[in-house]
Amino acid sequence: MTRYRQPGTVQTDHRFTVPLDHADPSGEQIELYAREVVAAGREDSDLPWLVYLEGGPGFGARRFVGQQAWLGRALREFRVLLLDQRGTGLSSPVNRQTLPLRGGPREQADHLAHFRADSIVRDCETVRPRLTGGAPWTVLGQSFGGFCATHYLSTAPEGLATVLITGGLPSLHAHADDVYRAAYPRIERKVAAHYARYPQDVQRARDIAAHLAAHPTVTPSGYTLTPEAFQSLGLGLGVGDGSHQLHHLLEGAFVPTPGGPALSDAFLENVQAALSFAGHPLYALLHESIYGQGQEPTAWAAERVRAEFPRFDAAAALAGDGPLPLTGETIHPWHFEVDPALRPLRETAELLAARTDWAPLYDPARLAANEVPVAAAVYHDDMYVDTAHSLETARAIRGLRTWVTDEFEHDGVRAGGPRVLDRLLALARDET
């Protein structure tokens, strides 16, 4: 283990080996990386543990500097473990470069089937006794991390002292089709709110999409920017400053050139940074699989369901005179054509979309008998997780207390971290 200091904290790197397939504990092993963080001066104190499960899927734990966001509040009483979930960050990374070591697309898809919430929770239960001596710990789950925490409550509640969930209460029963059928109207509302705040962006977005339709464009790093790909910048509208960031991006899109107006290199570079899955390919590969339960394939649910909402069609929008609709947290087959980080994985993604052997993720009976203190922040009209689904699940988990708020967007635990974490701890402890 390596120990080092940052402002106000002492951090320790941990590496663990866990089975790729927990049903075969003597089989292939993979590596997990996690960063332990404790307040400076308390590194030798006997503190309870809190493990943080990042959103996603496909993102490593956030790299904090010092006591940023919610971390400072947590360090007042916890020893915190920032876990890179399997395949992310420094935990045996999975991407277009490493997956060919598994073989062809079929072998790659079979490998990726072990990277959902069920395996992540088994990883946590393998790691926990090594760190806590067997004591239960508190779990803080953001977004997909909350999905993992709900699975944790379903399968290993004995490992949990408290569960805190922010923007991540999943439906216990919904198929991916149901998830996206509920999502597209929320996306419309977020886009309409953006255009109402920045009406000048209506024409800017139309001009950019029309330019891309007439002039196929490849960014300096090889991303093929199509009108549909441009629409997906709407993904950022679900976080606190997302609308403002999108506005700043659009206002500098064009520069004059001898051949007429063109999209600037700076704009294309920034768009590439916003849209590329190079740093988190599992998000694209597994996004619909996190909803897979039972024998029905997800089968590119977001793409199929979008056909029920024809107003999202870019060509139709450009043929009319209304605002260009943007899209949100949806993954489509074309992502695996335009993104150089995903192109080699297109067939693997197709096999995952066709898979019919997903294990159930939640146990409603066990959740109804839950005895672990649970508190959840549910963000009103959350762009990424349906509020109605979340509240239905909240009612299904015995003893869960909710804080429903429109003060924050989906990233509330980061944007207002100390306050959000403080409120959830108080709810879980019945102090408010």
Residues marked as catalytic: 143, 357, 410
What count of residues does the chain have?
432
Q: Please name every residue paired with 166 in a beta bridge, in sequence order, or none if there are none.
A: 142, 377
Cβ-based burial of 254 (10 A; exposed 0-12, middle 13-18, buried ≥19):
middle
CA distance 161 to 163: 7
- Contact (CB, 8 A) for 366 and 158: no
In angstroms, the CA 419 to CA 423 distance is 6
Query: Tokens 């277009």, residue?
Result: 96
Distance CA 145, CA 185 (A): 24
